[in-house]
């Protein structure tokens, strides 16, 4: 039976074939799906996040690691669902209205999944009303707003305003190429992440989980 640490190393190195094989072997040997996620996959993505924050790796390595994790989750999620096991926290994510870009948003989504958040991805060009409806429907702990363009920053501001006005306890986190901490503060967002590495730490902090 393989060790969970081998799975962790395979994810961190982006080896998707090994990741899938090790996941299958761990399941066949009787490991609990939740353990495989929490003690095998999540630590692998945590390593990737740390390396990213230290500029030891960049987006390509992160994408490849996230792809490996995603392949393993395809095997595990049905088993987790049938056992009624859900992640503790739920996040909504999307790119704000008027903006069709999704690389940054997808990366954050994958990193949050890798940190064992349930992630509802609303896609791109998402209206404030759609964010609000999804936050209510899923009782989300966190809403993530992404923007690539300076021209869609006003849509981000409007979305934050509408979400805040609804009086939900959901925390709002923003990010994207033109976004800064100063802008996040100005529009009343609860958090800002400069990159996909820190996005996990900020998300955990916002939902009250120790980073």
Q: Name the residues that contact other proteins, by CB under 8 A.
A: 14, 55, 58-61, 63-64, 67, 99-104, 106, 124-125, 148-151, 176-178, 180, 194-196
Give CA–CA dist 196/198, Å, rounded: 6
106: its two tokens:
């997808």
For the chain, the maximum distance between any two Cα atoms, rounded to a whole number of angstroms, is 53
145: its two tokens:
């707003």
Name which of 99 and 190 has its Cβ closer to other proteins.
99
CA angle 133, 75, 7 (to 5 degrees): 110
Name which of 3 and 17 has its Cβ closer to other proteins.
17
Would you say the C-alpha torsion 125, 181, 116, 102 has a positive or negative sign? positive
Name which of 67 and 204 has its Cβ closer to other proteins.
67
Name which of 27 and 47 has its Cβ closer to other proteins.
47
Shortest spacing between CB 186 and other proteins, in angstroms = 11
60: its two tokens:
């390509």
Shortest spacing between CB 27 and other proteins, in angstroms = 25
Would you say the C-alpha torsion 42, 76, 105, 134 has a positive or negative sign? negative
30: its two tokens:
């009787």
Around Cβ 202, how many Cβ atoms within 10 Å?
20
Shortest spacing between CB 81 and other proteins, in angstroms = 27
Shortest spacing between CB 174 and other proteins, in angstroms = 13
Name which of 108 and 132 has its Cβ closer to other proteins.
108
Shortest spacing between CB 184 and other proteins, in angstroms = 14
């Amino acid at each position: 039976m393989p060790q969970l640490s081998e799975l962790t190393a395979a994810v961190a190195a982006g080896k998707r074939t090994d990741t899938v094989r090790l996941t299958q072997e761990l399941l066949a040997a009787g490991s609990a799906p939740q353990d495989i996620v929490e003690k095998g996959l999540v630590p692998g993505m945590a390593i990737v996040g740390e390396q990213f924050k230290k500029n030891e790796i960049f987006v390509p390595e992160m994408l490849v690691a996230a792809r490996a994790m995603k392949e393993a989750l395809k095997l595990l999620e049905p088993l987790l669902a049938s056992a009624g096991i859900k992640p503790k926290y739920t996040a909504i994510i999307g790119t704000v209205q008027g903006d069709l870009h999704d690389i940054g948003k997808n990366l954050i989504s994958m990193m949050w999944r890798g940190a064992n958040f349930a992630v509802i991805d609303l896609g791109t060009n998402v209206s404030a009303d759609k964010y609000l409806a999804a936050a209510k429907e899923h009782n989300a702990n966190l809403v993530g707003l992404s923007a690539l363009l300076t021209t869609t920053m006003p849509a981000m501001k409007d979305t934050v305003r509408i979400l805040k006005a609804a009086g939900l306890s959901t925390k709002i986190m923003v990010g994207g190429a033109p976004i800064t901490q100063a802008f996040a503060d100005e529009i009343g967002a609860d958090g800002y992440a400069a990159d996909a590495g820190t996005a996990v730490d900020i998300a955990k902090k916002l939902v009250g989980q120790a980073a």
